Structure 1
Amino acid sequence: MLLHIPSIRVIDRDFNLKAEIDDYESLQFTRRFYRAGEFEMHIALHKQGVDQLHKERIIVVDNKMHKAGIIQYREIGQNDQGVEVLVIKGPTLGGILDRRVTVTDSFDRVRGPAETVMKHYVDNHLINSVNPQRRIPFLVNAPDLGRGKVTPWQTRFEPLNMVTQEIAEWCDIGWHIKLDYNIKKWVFDVLPGRNLTAEQRLLPPVIFSRDFDNIESQSFLDSDQQFKNVGYAGGQGEYEDRLIQMVGAGIGADRREVFLDCSSAENAAELVEEGNQKLSTQKTIVSYEGRILNTGSFVYEVDWDLGDIVTMKNGSWGVTLNDRITEVKEIYEPESKIDISLGEEVPTITQAIKQLTSAVKRSD
């Protein structure tokens, strides 16, 4: 998919413009729905603006407020042609959540729409923390519109970025941080996404298929390797005095059981809720990846975008998937491209261990 090569603005935390770069070797910018994305940029050392690419500076792609990242990595080396090149990497602005854990004397419990719950934790640990040293003055929450599935949540001494990711996945709603030049703030907000599948009739459908010549390099994954459908949620207490509640359902050989540590739950009802949340992470992984071709039928960020639910088809594979776009990777090199991922993210080894191992939490 041919895209125009975007310019890169470099700003500091006070929104002061430090450089504008139009000539670089390559840029990959990845946006994700449930968690922060990342970027990687290569630029020859002799080019204009390189001297302003310092750590903690912000790059803004094509002056779009939702496409910005924090420089956290710098490496100088030589490419295959012997040219000295600077490589910079970092997360999108949502990576700022990785700098906090949910510090609290007792479990921080909240119930409400997913948007309310996530903004509660962002406010408590980044914006208006009890400890002034934990506050980030340039970060604010967008107005809370109460969007997303109503859910209870609780956390204590967990990475804040993991908490928001788990809430987002459980409630199927995205989030991001974007820039607001008018108030000179970073703004945390949710991303509901749109239903653009072939079955709905409210909006023009978006269908990616080789039949329409708008996708290539496809891959499809359907895996039950980590799937569990019955959980025994363990609450407070020890040994035979520990409260256990069963969640989920399954019969015979199709029943796949797992023990879920939910020792922070205060009562049976809370134990069931937390058990269902944890069991939901051990689901069938269905994902579809493809490279989008520029046929003019669907325009990126106009007809479809990150978080939208679209239809992906491959007739020769017998596969039709209606699912959410959870990742978009923009690649700007001599030939620009765009890759998308639908469905669940394949867990890393660390994530799989976390899902299969009981988390150790101190009770109240």
Structure 2
Amino acid sequence: MEIHVYDRNLRRLGHIENHTSLQWHRKYYECGTFELHCPVTAENLRLLKPGNVIAKGDNKLEAAVIRGDQTEEESTLVNEITRNGKFLPVYLGDRLTGPLFNYSGTVEDAMRFMLGRMAAVPLLQIAEGTGDKTKIQFQATYKNVLEYLTKLARYAEIGFRVVPDFKKKTMTFETYKGIDRTQAQGKNPRVIFSESYDNLNQAKHNYSDESMKTKVIVGGAGEGLNRVYVTVGGGSGFDLREVFLDAKDINKDELTEAAYLAALRTRGQEYLNENKVFENFEAEAEADVNFTYQKDYDLGDVVTVKKKKWGTSQNLRITELCEVYEYGGMYVVPTFGDALPTAIKWDD
């Protein structure tokens, strides 16, 4: 597999064929990452400079920017270059949402609204949405665009990516939705990962309720008995886990009473979405055993995962897929379900 290298204006610089390892980590709700290992040569050093863009020869939907920690190492055991970076949405992480704004509408339109008001990214275009009708109401002031896109994507369960066109020298932001391929549905071909299908190898089950909350009291404008409060969620007895959330940063003067209460409720629901039970399966899968990767299933699809030894059968979304290229072969490591929680707050 060839790795093509371009400058930041998507002009081709050359290609690398002698890499020893590539981990191409695709993510549905977030910006993907990569790690590349290859021999130290004058050509590789010329091509693999920070800021340049790499793309796999068989992939027309994704490319990545060389960013972050980079190394060259020479010893009696190793003589290689290591390059790391992130997929093209990383450019959106360099932008802010701008001055205070209020938004009410669909999540997809919210994404495009923020992209339209941020400082322009060279070559970037914005595609039409998928038609997802998930609604949201929120207020923001100078927030990181990429972080907000990630939060909005999780809220509506839609994916996003920035697709390069190396001929036209453009990059296009687009949203997309995974396909339901679960055992119970009958519209699409079913995809099942299990021991009996020999495609759930070295499985790892992760579960965390460390940060789970069931009820949030959102405090808005005002003081003491005059303060505005809304409640989102519920629960009782041992199942109740409640928390208080300060949302005074939402400017009441910019909204009608109904819109303000809706914004507080949205903030509470977003908090519950970020503080729920997180459960996933990680497994190593051959790319063409029983079900062929990127033909029968892909990133974002919902599939059935069975582990008889653990007595579990669940329908889970493929939220991450790591393609691993080593020793002339390739395998994939899908993550089914939610990634383990990270501390992301909407009011940061």
Question: Do they superpose with TM above 0.5?
Answer: yes
What one-letter code is carried by the residue in structure 1 that aligns with 2:341? P
1:174 aligns with 159
Query: Which of 199, 205, 210 pairs up with 1:225?
Result: 210
RMSD value, Cα: 1.9
1:298 aligns with 291
1:117 aligns with 110
**1:18-40 per-position Cα deviation (integer Å, ceiling 9, x unaligned):** 01111111111100000101011
Relative distance call for 1:225 and 1:22 in structure 2 (3 A) is same
Q: Do structure 1's residue 216 and structure 2's residue 201 form an aligned pair?
A: yes
Q: Do structure 1's residue 136 and structure 2's residue 136 form an aligned pair?
A: no
Q: Aligned partners of 1:252 and 1:316: how far apart in 2?
A: 32
What one-letter code is carried by the residue in structure 1 that aligns with 2:205? F
Contact 1:26 1:43 in 2 (8 A): yes
Deviation at 1:184, TM superposition (A): 1.6
Deviates more, 1:26-35 or 1:154-163: 154-163
Q: Aligned partners of 2:53 and 2:87: how far apart in 1?
A: 9
1:286 aligns with 279
1:156 aligns with 141
> Unpaired runs of 5+ in structure 1?
1-5, 126-133
Q: Secondary structure at the match of 1:269?
A: helix
Query: Which of 7, 18, 26 pairs up with 1:31?
Result: 26
Q: Secondary structure at the match of 2:186?
A: coil
Q: Aligned partners of 1:16 and 1:270: how far apart in 2?
A: 44
Deviation at 1:177, TM superposition (A): 0.7
Deviation at 1:76, TM superposition (A): 1.0
Q: Do structure 1's residue 317 and structure 2's residue 310 form an aligned pair?
A: yes
Q: Do structure 1's residue 99 and structure 2's residue 88 form an aligned pair?
A: no
Contact 1:175 1:191 in 2 (8 A): yes
**1:136-189 per-position Cα deviation (integer Å, ceiling 9, x unaligned):** 231110123432512223221221111011111111111111102343211111
1:277 aligns with 270
Deviation at 1:135, TM superposition (A): 1.8
What one-letter code is carried by the residue in structure 2 that aligns with 1:345? A
Deviation at 1:295, TM superposition (A): 5.1
Q: Do structure 1's residue 200 and structure 2's residue 185 form an aligned pair?
A: yes
Query: Which of 44, 64, 68 pairs up with 2:63?
Result: 68
- TM-score normalised over the length of structure 2: 0.92
2:221 aligns with 236
1:130 aligns with none
Identity of matched residues, % = 28
> Unpaired runs of 5+ in structure 2?
253-259
How many aligned residue pairs are there?
338
2:341 aligns with 347
Relative distance call for 1:294 and 1:101 in structure 2 (3 A) is closer
Contact 2:139 2:263 in 1 (8 A): no
- TM-score normalised over the length of structure 1: 0.88
Superposed counterparts of 1:8-23, under 5 Å: 8-23=3-18
